[in-house]
């Protein structure tokens, strides 16, 4: 509409000019040497306009002739780019549909028509990935490092491939380089944080977390929680060497996350060790109100060393009043009453739990009460038999692993703050699905090959795995520690139990039944258990020969070697959790054998010949 109005306005001006010339006639005279040319003004204006138009047409024709080669080149280049982008589009569709042959063909066409375009390199890498050509994928990602706009994408692809091969040193180097080039990239900062946590570099992890929070890559609440976890982990490592610094760190962690049980427990123990019993009691009581936990109960009852059993019982009653309806309060009271030899009080505390569906800890504690009051009787054996079929107690869970103690990182995925307190039968399935989604989200953009997702961290998954089974332990007595009642983390879901024993123990013939107080299994079950053949540990596959890596990777490897870090080091975890001792499901769901904290000896044992595993089944 605007163009039409402009045209009409111009046309009006032309008409006005013609009318003005018609109303004001004149004559134009041109004299040149002996020639004299005279013409009316209107004719002269028309002739001038015609000459200018002719000159413009001639110039346009001459210019077109001279630019014709360039126009032909531009048209050819446009056709090539159109064909190249069409090949990229078809290649992306082939990658998405899982057709490796078509993806490779279209990737070759795109590279021929477009050259080293970013989309061409990405399509080439994805076609190699879905074809299983890891070397080709790495070569494509290395080519991306030469272009500034694709450098971070190439580092992401090399990072994923390095984790799949188990080369954690190279993976960390790629993530650190990406974080340096693009500080706002979330995956690089998260990967660096995980690697620092796996190496127990808590101070470096705190700096990385602060950078992520400053760049708003993580929300404020999650940043506070992760900072509390890192401070708690740092305090645990410093508790023996520098208790003052550990106490400062863990008290800050308690302020940031009051519901973090390990922080409250460690703060209470460190304050009690320093003689500040009132402050320790206040921290433990506040944590107990939020989440009644057996570790809090143990720290509160034993807050002052040297107290008598009756003093500990009085302290347990004080703590139980803060959460009187909790099962942990009743278990704590029953244990303290048993230590004080007040059997009626212990039975009264456990009565509501027995009336419902008693768990393993409840049944074993009742067996201890019966044994302490009446000796080894049929009631003791009945409670132990009932314990073998009792539901599990709450435990620390992370990525399908059940642990006796809390750890700041997951032993499977290396994820920070992965452990939660819950009942295994209710939490395991949800956490397993969450771990699978984490592996999928860790893949490079467009990498649809998920067949090797479980190989992302091969050194982190513990090697001992058993097929799922519904078999029970040899006897119900095995669910009970030899001396005291089961600890807070005891569990008894009927699953196969893998027990690690010294290698020099050979299978023994059936022996007579042990004395009642030892709690050993009967002779037939013991013979059957000892006759089970040892399960050799799984052999780790030899890594494939590494391709040439950038200079910063070798420098990171040297720095890691100086710190004593192996190239295939798994995320660090406490020593007592280093070897899972129970397998519930095939990888990556692993159930370690729980051991009560008051068990006088560890479940696993090693001698010079190495560990030998045997499976106790009936």
Res 356: pLDDT: 84
What are 17-45's pLDDT values in tens digits? 878 877 777 888 888 878 888 888 778 88
Q: Between the CA of residue 475 and those of 367, 500, 519, 556, what are the distances in Å?
A: 15, 18, 10, 52
Task: For residue 39, count CB atoms less than 10 angstroms from its CB and return exposed for 0-12, middle for 13-18, buried for 19 or more.
Answer: middle
For residue 51, give the 3-state DSSP assignment: helix
Chain-wide mean pLDDT for the chain?
Answer: 74
8 Å CB contact between 479 and 525 = no
Residue 468 pLDDT more than 50?
A: no
Residues 6+ apart with CB under 8 A from 22: 42
38 C-beta neighbours (distance < 10 Å), count? 10
pLDDT tops 60 at residue 431: no
DSSP 476: G
Model confidence over 325-351: pLDDT tens digits? 899 999 999 999 999 999 999 999 999
Residue 617: φ, ψ to 5°? -135, 165
pLDDT digit string, tens, across residues 528-558: 333 444 444 444 444 444 445 555 555 555 4
Decide if 327 contacts 355 (C-beta within 8 A): no
pLDDT digits (tens, 9 = 90+) for 473-508: 333 334 444 333 333 333 334 343 333 333 443 344
- Highest-scoring range by mean pLDDT, 251-260, 372-381, 410-419: 251-260
pLDDT at position 426: 53
What is the Cα–Cα distance from 590 to 70, expressed in whole angstroms?
68
Residue 249: the pLDDT is: 94
Q: Residue 518: is its pLDDT beyond 60?
A: no
Q: What is the pLDDT of residue 552?
A: 58
- What value, to the nearest 5°, has the Cα angle with vertex 524 and ends 522 and 527? 105
With H, G, I as helix, E, B as strand and everything else as coil, classify residue 450.
coil
Residues 583-608, mean pLDDT to the nearest whole number: 36
**pLDDT higher than 50, residue 108:** yes
Computed from CA positions of residues 476, 482, 484, 490, in that sequence, does the dihedral angle turn out positive or negative? negative
Q: Residue 535 gets which letter from DSSP?
A: B
- CA distances (Å), origin 254, targets 224, 261, 265, 284, 591: 11, 9, 10, 10, 30
Could you tell me which residue, 436 or 46, shows the higher pLDDT?
46
Q: What is the mean pLDDT of residues 546-575?
A: 46
pLDDT tens-digit series, residues 205-229: 999 999 999 988 889 999 999 999 9
d(CA 598, CA 485): 8
| 3-class SS shares of the chain: helix, strand, coil, % to 5 | 60, 5, 35
Dist CA 292 CA 285 (whole Å): 9
Q: What are the tens digits of pLDDT across the range 4-14? A: 888 888 888 88
């Amino acid at each position: 509409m605007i163009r039409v109005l402009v045209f009409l306005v111009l046309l009006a001006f032309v008409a006005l000019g013609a009318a003005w010339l018609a109303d004001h006639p004149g004559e134009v005279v041109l004299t040149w040497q002996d020639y004299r040319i005279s013409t009316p003004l209107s004719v002269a204006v028309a002739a001038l306009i015609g000459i200018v138009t002719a000159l413009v047409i001639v110039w346009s024709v001459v210019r077109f002739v001279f630019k014709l080669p360039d126009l032909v080149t531009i048209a050819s280049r446009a056709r090539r780019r159109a064909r190249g982008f069409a090949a990229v589009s078809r290649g992306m569709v082939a990658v998405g549909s899982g057709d490796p042959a078509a993806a490779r063909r279209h990737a070759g066409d795109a590279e021929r028509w477009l050259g080293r375009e970013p989309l061409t390199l990405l399509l080439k890498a994805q076609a190699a990935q879905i074809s299983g050509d890891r070397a080709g994928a790495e070569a494509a990602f290395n080519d991306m490092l030469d272009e500034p706009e694709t450098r971070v994408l190439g580092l992401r692809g090399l990072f994923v491939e390095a984790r799949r091969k188990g080369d954690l040193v190279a993976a960390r180097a790629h993530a650190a380089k990406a974080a340096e080039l693009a500080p706002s990239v979330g995956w690089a900062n998260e990967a660096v944080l995980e690697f620092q946590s796996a190496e127990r570099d808590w101070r470096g992890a705190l700096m990385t977390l602060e950078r992520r929070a400053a760049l708003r890559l993580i929300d404020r609440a999650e940043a506070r929680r992760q900072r509390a976890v890192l401070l708690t982990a740092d305090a645990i490592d410093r508790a023996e060497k520098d208790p003052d610094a550990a106490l400062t760190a863990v008290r800050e962690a308690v302020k940031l996350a009051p519901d973090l049980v390990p922080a409250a427990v460690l703060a209470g123990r460190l304050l009690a060790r320093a003689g500040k019993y009132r402050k320790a009691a206040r921290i433990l009581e506040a944590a107990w109100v939020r989440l009644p936990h057996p570790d809090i109960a143990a720290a509160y009852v034993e807050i002052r060393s040297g107290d008598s059993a009756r003093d500990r019982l009085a302290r347990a009653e004080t703590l139980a009043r803060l959460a009187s309806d909790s099962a942990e309060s009743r278990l704590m009271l029953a244990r303290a009453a048993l230590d004080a030899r007040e059997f009626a009080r212990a039975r009264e505390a456990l009565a509501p739990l027995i009336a419902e569906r008693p768990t393993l800890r409840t049944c074993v504690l009742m067996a201890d009460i019966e044994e302490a009051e009446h000796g080894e009787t049929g009631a003791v054996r009945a409670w132990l038999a009932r314990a073998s079929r009792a539901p599990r107690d709450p435990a620390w869970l992370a990525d399908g692993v059940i642990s006796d103690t809390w750890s700041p990182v997951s032993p499977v995925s290396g994820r920070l703050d992965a452990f939660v307190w819950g009942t295994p039968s209710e939490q395991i399935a949800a956490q397993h699905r969450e771990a699978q989604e984490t592996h999928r989200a860790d893949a490079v953009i467009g990498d649809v090959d998920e067949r090797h997702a479980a190989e992302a961290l091969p050194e982190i998954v513990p090697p001992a795995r058993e097929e799922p089974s519904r078999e029970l332990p040899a006897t119900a007595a095995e669910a009970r520690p030899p001396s005291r009642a089961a600890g807070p983390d005891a569990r008894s879901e009927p699953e196969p139990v893998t027990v690690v024993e010294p290698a020099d123990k050979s299978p023994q013939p059936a022996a007579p039944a042990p004395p009642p107080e030892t709690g050993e299994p009967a002779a037939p079950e013991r013979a059957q258990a000892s006759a089970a053949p040892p399960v050799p540990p799984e052999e780790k596959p030899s890594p494939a020969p590494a391709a040439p890596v950038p200079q910063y990777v070798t420098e990171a490897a040297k720095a890691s070697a100086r710190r004593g870090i192996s190239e295939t080091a798994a995320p660090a975890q406490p020593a007592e959790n280093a070897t899972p001792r129970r397998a519930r499901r095939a990888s990556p769901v692993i159930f370690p054998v729980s051991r009560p904290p008051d068990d006088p000896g560890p479940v696993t044992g090693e001698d010079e010949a190495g560990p030998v595993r045997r499976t106790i089944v009936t």
